[in-house]
Chain A
Amino acid sequence: MPHDDRRRRFELLALPHLDAAYNLARWLAGNTADAEDVVQDAYLRAYRYFDAFQGGNFRVWLLTIVRNAFMTWVKENRSGRMVFVPDTPAGDTAESDETMWSSRPRDPEALLLESIDSQTLGRLIEQLPAEYREVLLLREVEELPYKEIATVTGVPIGTVMSRLSRARLALKKLWLRQAETEAAHGV
């Protein structure tokens, strides 16, 4: 295929998903400059391997590459810093999380959850381990089904399910702590 065609075809497919790619990279990397580097690297990789794209969901294919580019970037730039924590074995801390859920009066909490503002929510998401952050983003922002989240993150679908469930518990825990702190300071 002539070079021009290949490139135009790539742009036609890849350009519309630049915001999605950037948003994921930005939430994973944590700042603008690094996110830009990750996305640029991802697009160059995607262009290089473009012939390997066999149809299907291009956004999922591209987000997989963004995620891989982020992992490479972590190895090169943040080696030694724990970004992804290992999955907790089932029934380990999960149990204390469950207790946390069931030891409080409930309905007011759903209301509390709804009253959070964007900035605070963003700060809480940043405090989550990256593996939790990415499944939450892929599910709630990109609205991908489990199967495609598994593709992007390169883990079995069962791991996606349990990670997402744990991520939600972890977020809720941060959320309640935040609310308590606010209450203590009379905000």
Chain B
Amino acid sequence: MACDRPTLSLSRLLDGALGPFARLRLKQHIAGCEDCAARLEELRAMQAVMRTKLPYHRAPPGLATRIGAALPRETPPAPSRAWFRWPAFGLAGTGLAGALAGVALTVLATGSQNGGHGGPMQMVIDSHIRSLQANHLTDLLTSDQHTVKPWLSARLDVSPPVRDLKDEGFPLIGGRLDYVDGHAAAAVVYQRARHVINLFAWASAGRDESFHADAKQGFNIVTWRRGGITYYAVSDVEADQLAEFAKLVAAG
């Protein structure tokens, strides 16, 4: 039987954009309406396909350079400061490394100003950004948790939980070694649609601490401590998805 319930409400349900009461009512309706159930299934299929199959156009290599060159010129620096003027944006070849180093330098400066808790947060964001830009997302590219875990354990004094969360919508991409706030850290890399999630973990003494969510520079961060390991999850996925991710990791 064709149902006259508009697609709009199914579309909102799909996006998690219905209030709790409306959601409950619609779900009850769908449970007894084949038509709506099938339409919702189709919407889900389309969404999944859009998220996994739509070609993603990355910026061409020269674009950052062109933009950097087009930005208004800076005031000439005082000679004594010349050593830390880095080329802006990714100039071809070595320039990219230079620009990234510039980012890192800024972050170090900011981190030391903030001190305390601002330090590691800024550093994991910085590391997250570098991992995206420098083609250095992973040292070990594999979705096999049984490879990533021993590889990290052999190189670090911590053994963070590594679990492929593919079925939960967060496939494991790989791992790499990192250095955050004076600690050798594991960076376990996950993906959510086209977004990358870096999960940083390092050994730290102290009581377990529950999840703490934050947002900075357009990135979401969730941090917690458990079993003598401090965790930072960083990504540009939406805050609720990152919170879900953190819970999955902590539950593992």
- Point out residues on A near B: beta carbons under 8 Å: 2-4, 7-9, 11-13, 15-23, 26-27, 32, 35-36, 39-40, 43-44, 47, 57-60, 62, 94, 97-99, 101-103, 106-107, 109-111, 113-114, 116-119, 121-122, 125, 136, 139-141, 143-146, 161-162, 164-165, 168-169, 171-172, 175
Contacts and interface: CB of A to CB of B under 8 A. Distances in A.
B45 interface: yes
Interface stretch (B24-32, B99-107, B175-183, B198-206): B99-107
Given A101-B7, A102-B39, A113-B45, 13 more contacts: A4-B74, A7-B88, A15-B99, A39-B63, A40-B63, A40-B67, A58-B217, A98-B6, A101-B42, A122-B55, A143-B51, A168-B7, A175-B46
Interface residues of B, number: 67
A141 B217 contact: no
14 contacts: A11-B88, A12-B106, A39-B59, A40-B70, A60-B218, A102-B3, A106-B35, A107-B41, A109-B38, A118-B55, A122-B55, A143-B192, A161-B12, A164-B15
B207 interface: no
Contacts of A32: 60
A23 B54 CA distance: 11
Nearest to A148: B238
Interface in B4-36: 4, 6-8, 11-12, 15, 17, 34-35
Contact of B57 (A23, A47, A144): A23
Contact of A98 (B7, B34, B241): B7
Contacts of A13: 217-218
A22 B68 CA distance: 15
User: Which of A9, A21, A58 has the most CB atoms of chain B within a 10 A radius of its CB?
Assistant: A58
A94 B8 CA distance: 10
Given A107-B41, A161-B12, A11 B7 contact: no
A118 B15 contact: no
B132 interface: yes
A4 B193 contact: no
B154 interface: no
Q: Is the interface of A mostly helix, strand, loop or mixed?
A: helix
B113 interface: no
Nearest to B71: A47
A20 B2 CA distance: 40
Interface string B38-78: 11011111111111011111111001101110111011010
